[in-house]
Amino acid sequence: MERDLLKLLSGTGRFKKVLRGEAIKGKAIGEIMGWNGAGPPWALTVPDLILAGDNFSQRPDDAFLLAVEIKYFPRGASSDKKHWRQSFREIGQPLRDLLYGFDAAVLWHLFSESNADDDIGKYVAMCGEVIDKLKLPVVYFKTKLTTHDRFAFFYPWRLENTSPLPDAAYVAGCLQQINNERDGSYRAKMNPLLMDEKVLGMRKAVKSVLRIP
């Protein structure tokens, strides 16, 4: 599913780079950080997708880096409690991504078209409540992928009965909007660690590996 979304988002032209998280995995980032044989200070897991564009605020620099964690729900998964429990455990993954120095991290729950809207709605309410009431610095998206690569939105707003449904360009625009500091709804979701020297060092290493000036 990550490959499918990468292709869809890349085709919109909204971001300068759309990459799989594996792009920052391997020896290159370790050499830059000087880990050598010691290894990274935490398990080196990476986001599913990395989106890069211009940073309108220019803070901490002129690049906007977005980490995206994707959890796909196949047919019938929205009514399966096992998938519910697993996805709650995965809320910590985008928080971990903030240690790389990304400007923000997105948790994107993506449902197949076969899942019932009522089941999706119940799940959305639970996850959204956890993230919002705990004031976690995570941007939460919940959508259903329909035929012809269209998206029904369930969170952070409801948009599932329009015709035609939003396409990948609309989704990319929503992700790009996170970079708009005039949008107060996202201000509290930005990475609170971007004044930490070690996190900024990781950010520089990530940019170097991705060849972002």
Amino acid at 44: L
- Percent of the chain, pLDDT > 90? 43
pLDDT digits (tens, 9 = 90+) for 63-91: 999 999 998 888 766 556 666 666 667 78
Over residues 166-189, the mean pLDDT reads 86
Return the residue matching tokens 């449902």.
111
pLDDT confidence bin for 161, thresholds 50/70/90: confident
pLDDT digits (tens, 9 = 90+) for 24-55: 876 667 777 766 554 555 556 789 999 999 98
Over residues 181-203, the mean pLDDT reads 85
Mean pLDDT over each residue of the chain, to the nearest integer: 85
Q: How high is the pLDDT of residue 163?
A: 81
Q: Which residues on neighbouring strands pair with residue 155, listed in sequence order?
A: 142
pLDDT over 90 (residue 194): yes
Q: How many domains is the chain built from?
A: 1
Longest dimension (CA), the chain: 55
Strands 150-155 and 17-20: unpaired
Q: How high is the pLDDT of residue 52?
A: 96
Q: Whole domain around residue 147: which residue ranges?
A: 2-209
Start-end of H helices in the chain: 2-10, 27-33, 81-89, 92-97, 117-133, 168-177, 184-187, 197-209
- Using a cut of 0.85, tell me whether the model's pTM lies above it: yes
Strands 104-112 and 63-73: parallel
Over residues 118-138, the mean pLDDT reads 85
